[in-house]
Structure 1
């Protein structure tokens, strides 16, 4: 009995050792990029990886680290004093200082710091490359329907509070191109042309950056915008891209 138990234990140990060895070999051969690893520092000059979105959302728990990340990326911003109360407390938010070459939001808006960081990464790594590839130009500014709104989801009288209630979300409605063209979620989402493909590429790419992405494909309430938020649900938390 004791011998049999010892043998089973040794087999388990051997199996575990083999799995660890195989994992190490795969790691050394594949050489994953830093953004694909959970323990590496987040950088905004790298393409989004497997853990980029979770790292961004986690910044909601570390305001100094989030602001340092923005400064390191060269993004100018102004800290916004806390306001609101209870479930509608907007704290540690920032207002982006517009620059023609980096994240121009119209109108200017205060958001939770992780949202600002996500927007910077999205613009540089997803939006601009897609615009150049599909539309032959760049995006001059991104128009939106707002960020902070003290309300529950869908404006209901009960139920869960919206991420907008703390400025942890933004609704993007239109991309204004450098050549003056306007690409609207409401008007162009369903078009079978370059504009429609650009909007879908912008949505698809945002899903590796934001915790929740909701588009016209989700429901009629999002027919005119892309909802982007950085809800922090933990390292293995639920994420949505629709």
Structure 2
């Protein structure tokens, strides 16, 4: 089962269309004009017909849908611009902003450099401690090693705090999801609700009423019915007409023959008839 592609219905909104259709079919027995589901056409047959007629049904609410899409795109563009300014603003700043970037790089590199220096000084210091006689600067190397070790620990702590602050800042500027549990902005929600209402009242319900009221839609017939009223052509073909068979005659038909005409004989004198 495939749904026809509606030129004005975006892929992300087709789930809404099917959801509204399913709700209408589920509550059809409480709606006038569509409470006869099951007598001649069942819900699944009507659903298939409505999915194949997506372009016709959604066209009834085209104005509301265009407004909904426009408001939604404007909201998305505005939210994306706000996030871009919050993220790219520090990078586009003046000298103070550049200094902040240099500080961030230094915060990352300081623990690495200090840790490397601490490892080298401690390694050579303890090796010299094993030599006999012990060199005088072995204790100096150990002291320097422990000093750089302390710098490494401080640098790691500072980097962790910086990452935490960045995560909190990004979380505050994150754009909320529009669906799947997230709430839509008020203007978008109102436009969406207006489209859904128009789609149901002016598109889906009139289509279902027309389908149920059309006597030519016979699900038991092996030949698909013809198109009538507002019911779209859903893979149906019109009745086949054939010309009368060649052998059948409705009556004798007189036969006429045209008279034979001959042209007069013309020619020079020597060819005159005798």
What TM bracket, shorter-length normalisation? Answer: under 0.3
TM-score (norm 2): 0.19
TM-score if structure 1 supplies the norm length? Answer: 0.21
**Which has the larger Rg?**
2
The structure with the greater share of residues assigned to helix is 2
